Amino acid sequence: MNLDYPITYIKGVSVQRATLLYTELGIKTCNDLLNFFPFRYIDKTQFYTIKDLQPNSSEVQIVGQITNVKSVAQKRGSRLVATFQDATGTMELVWFKGQKWIKDSLKINVPYVVYGKLNHYNGSFSIPHPELELVTEYKKKLQTKMQPVYASTEKLTNSGVSNKLMRSYIQHLLQQVYDGIQESLSQDIIDDLQLMHKRDALLNVHFPKSQAHLAKAQYRLKFEELFFIQLQLVRKKLVNKTKIKGFVFEHVGEKFTNFYKNHLPFELTNAQKRVLKEIRKDVGSGAHMNRLLQGDVGSGKTIVALLAMLLAIDNGYQATIMAPTEILANQHYTAVSELLTGMNINVDILTGSVKTKKRREIHQSLEEGTLHILVGTHALLEDKVKYKSLGIAIIDEQHRFGVKQRAKLWNKNRQSPSQPSQREEAKSPSLTLPKGKGTDKTEKSLPFGEVGGALPPHILVMTATPIPRTLAMSVYGDLDISVIDELPPGRKPVKTVHRFDSNRLSVFKFLKDEIAKGRQVYIVYPLIQESEAMDYKDLMDGYESVAREFPSPKYQISIVHGQMKPADKDYEMQRFVKGETQIMVATTVIEVGVNVPNASVMIIESAERFGLSQLHQLRGRVGRGADQSYCILLSSFKLSAEAKTRLKTMTETTDGFKIAEVDLKLRGPGNIMGTQQSGVLNLKIADVVKDAKILVAARNTAIAILQDDANLVKPENLPIKTAFSAMTQTSKIWSNIS
């Protein structure tokens, strides 16, 4: 029987039930059913002793004797309680229904095998409504193996599709197809990693012979699942590199060199230099660059972006940098303009608040090519914004933008072809990679660097939200990744403490001392307006109490929040930047990228309300100058366990990657930026967090295979090629990220 056949081919599956299984669980073909894995198992292969019971062991099997049975009155009716003991301890068996009948049938001081779901309450264990079997009976029977339990829905259960029925369907199916299940990995991989063969893995994941068999089966299937995803991502990356052409920035020219020699205000860190090299290599290769730059807050990504833009300009192209907020766009604009003073480079800014007349001017100078660098917000994505020859597009804080928005930047050159045709090659399932890693010489000499030509700009996306390495492999596995893992010299780690609201007075005292030293401070609130949840610290309330504590004219306060007009925000922001105000009361609008080196204290009100990455971002606003900086996390007394972990993590480390790891563990991949589009949430059996090691093994294997045999033409890789083609054709392709 072919695995592509609908499940009605399986004995006992009616058309009605097949329809139901499809609508409820998405199971259509035999293959779907075979890959519908149990979510847990009833394990009757193991016996526990009472002493070894753990509050988390769900179903247990124990041998012991009932020593006493009694009825216990409770609010409504009564319950039947039996004291059950083995050589190691005592526990209870409890019944709420059928008490009389059970009471009569229970035998005292006779060995039983008891099985059931374990409850743990007030330090003692009990099993409600256990399965009971006399040991003498138990010994007569053939011992059952571990039983699979499948996810179900109310509709299915109501229509009689019980777990038992599912088991029998799958059992029938396995009997019919077992011999025909094809291996999808090469013998080399199986040998190297000592993997279970596919058919045995499928058999044992549904009907495990033992815990050990189950573990091996699960490992094999998780590996396989992650391997084929990685194969696809790694391959896409190789195809991008070798097939999608990009402008060649052939020379490092006058602008770049002049800036580097005469205008760079500091020496680049080694990490910055390394990343710059990686970018230069990309843009000189003739292939299209699609690179992610990760770097903690304050690591100095902007200057790297600027140098990359100068490379483009030196080669006759334009450059653009897009930021998620006006504040940040303004800041980039100011920084870039200042850094480029006297260099004869035209820089402008386009945001939602730019007036029509000015807008027209920008559009025109862009199309004429006289405007070299355009900084902006989402406004850059409007159709009217067209470039003469956009060489590089940089996206700051990329996770703030949707995939579609980022994709729009591909088409910004006047005669760009539509994006799909550019991408077609990358998606086509036919394996036609040129051999080896280097780019083909003949391709390189094609005239694709022509100014105003039809190529997409190089793309550099930047993020200060570090993504744990393993997650990045899945989410950005087809991008090249650069990391700035070093802060500029002289930075002192921000001292972070957690204080309760009741300490506010001493915190304010501390602020006064810092302000007296000439420093500036941020006070951040989680919400803009009083919400239904009354315990939120309202920004305005906060502002008033701060204003009382820090009276004018001695103290000047800025306030910035999301509901202000951009011009007002900017005005307040500028006052703070210029040092006219010492205190910035704000909501999280200042979270992203704002740079005021003289600010040395960050107070976060209701810190328990913030997620870890947000807290880390906020803290990153200080510690940018030479002074010792502080972050004070204020919270109420009542904290959830998770909130405690978050606050503790913040006080213990300033390493963004470590924080990201904790965040991932706390919240799972579903809440981490970027994962929603990536498919990591649709995994059938693997888990990107828990199975990180398997993921690394899968990726390394995929890289090794493709490096050795890019087109999978070697006979030993035939099983992989066959399986891979089948998968890509059924279109379970992960969406593209940038």
Q: Give the footprint of ligand ADP on this chain (CB under 6 A).
A: 266, 268-269, 272, 295, 297-303, 464, 488, 593, 595, 597, 624
Element (H, E) at 498: strand 495-500
Minimum CB distance to Mg ion smaller for 300 or for 526: 300
Cβ atoms of 611 and 663 within 8 Å: the answer is yes
| Residue 235 CA neighbour count, 13 Å, CB half | 30
Tokens 């003498």 correspond to what residue?
A: 136
CB atoms within 10 A of CB 23: 12
Select the binding partner of residue 299 from Mg ion, ligand ADP, none (C-beta < 5 to 8 A, by kind): ligand ADP
Question: Least distance from C-beta 523 to Mg ion, angstroms?
Answer: 22
Return d(Cα 339, Cα 373) in angstroms, integer: 13
Question: Least distance from C-beta 277 to ligand ADP, angstroms?
Answer: 15
x-or-dash pattern for Mg ion, window 540-579, by CB under 5 A?
----------------------------------------
Minimum CB distance to Mg ion smaller for 542 or for 593: 593
Question: Least distance from C-beta 338 to ligand ADP, angstroms?
Answer: 10
Minimum CB distance to ligand ADP smaller for 38 or for 593: 593
The alpha carbon torsion through 107, 111, 112, 114 (nearest 10 deg) reads: 120
Question: Least distance from C-beta 302 to ligand ADP, angstroms?
Answer: 3
Return d(Cα 520, Cα 509) in angstroms, integer: 14
Peptide bond into 38 cis (omega under 30): no
Return d(Cα 45, Cα 31) in angstroms, integer: 29
Q: What is the DSSP letter of 263?
A: I
Question: Least distance from C-beta 673 to ligand ADP, angstroms?
Answer: 16
Select the binding partner of residue 286 from ligand ADP, Mg ion, none (C-beta < 5 to 8 A, by kind): none
Question: Least distance from C-beta 597 to ligand ADP, angstroms?
Answer: 6
Question: Least distance from C-beta 237 to ligand ADP, angstroms?
Answer: 25
Name residue 179's amino acid. D
The alpha carbon torsion through 206, 210, 213, 214 (nearest 10 deg) reads: 50
Question: Least distance from C-beta 550 to ligand ADP, angstroms?
Answer: 27
Q: Give Cβ neighbours of residue 274 (< 8 Å, ≥ 6 apart).
A: 482
Minimum CB distance to Mg ion smaller for 449 or for 593: 593
Question: Least distance from C-beta 58 to Mg ion, angstroms?
Answer: 47
CB atoms within 10 A of CB 344: 9
Q: Using alpha carbons, select from 598, 599, 642 the residue that is nearest to residue 618.
A: 599
Select the binding partner of residue 624 from ligand ADP, Mg ion, none (C-beta < 5 to 8 A, by kind): ligand ADP
Select the binding partner of residue 496 from Mg ion, ligand ADP, none (C-beta < 5 to 8 A, by kind): none
Position closest to ligand ADP via CB: 300
Residue of 449, 456, 457, 593 interacting with Mg ion (CB under 5 A): 593
Query: Which stretch, 111-119, 273-281, 591-599, 625-633, contacts Mg ion (CB under 5 A)?
Result: 591-599
Select the binding partner of residue 303 from Mg ion, ligand ADP, none (C-beta < 5 to 8 A, by kind): ligand ADP
Minimum CB distance to ligand ADP smaller for 301 or for 412: 301
Return d(Cα 200, Cα 206) in angstroms, integer: 10
Q: Extract the tokens encoding 385.
A: 């914004």
Name residue 503's amino acid. N
Minimum CB distance to ligand ADP smaller for 339 or for 528: 339
Question: Least distance from C-beta 336 to Mg ion, angstroms?
Answer: 12
Query: Which stretch, 204-212, 356-364, 592-600, 653-661, contacts Mg ion (CB under 5 A)?
Result: 592-600
Name residue 113's amino acid. V
Q: Give Cβ neighbours of residue 207 (< 8 Å, ≥ 6 apart).
A: 145, 146, 148, 171, 174
**Residue 536: left if φ>0, alpha if ψ -120 to 50, beta else—which one?**
beta
Minimum CB distance to Mg ion smaller for 130 or for 593: 593
Minimum CB distance to ligand ADP smaller for 89 or for 488: 488
Select the binding partner of residue 272 from ligand ADP, Mg ion, none (C-beta < 5 to 8 A, by kind): ligand ADP
**Residue 679: left if φ>0, alpha if ψ -120 to 50, beta else—which one?**
left
Return d(Cα 374, Cα 371) in angstroms, integer: 7
Radius of gyration from C-alpha coordinates of the chain: 32
Query: Which stretch, 221-229, 345-353, 426-434, 589-597, contacts Mg ion (CB under 5 A)?
Result: 589-597
Query: Which stretch, 41-49, 432-440, 566-574, 585-593, contacts Mg ion (CB under 5 A)?
Result: 585-593
Select the binding partner of residue 39 from ligand ADP, Mg ion, none (C-beta < 5 to 8 A, by kind): none
Question: Least distance from C-beta 599 to ligand ADP, angstroms?
Answer: 12
Minimum CB distance to Mg ion smaller for 286 or for 593: 593
Cβ atoms of 723 and 184 within 8 Å: the answer is yes
Residues of this chain that bind Mg ion (CB under 5 A): 593
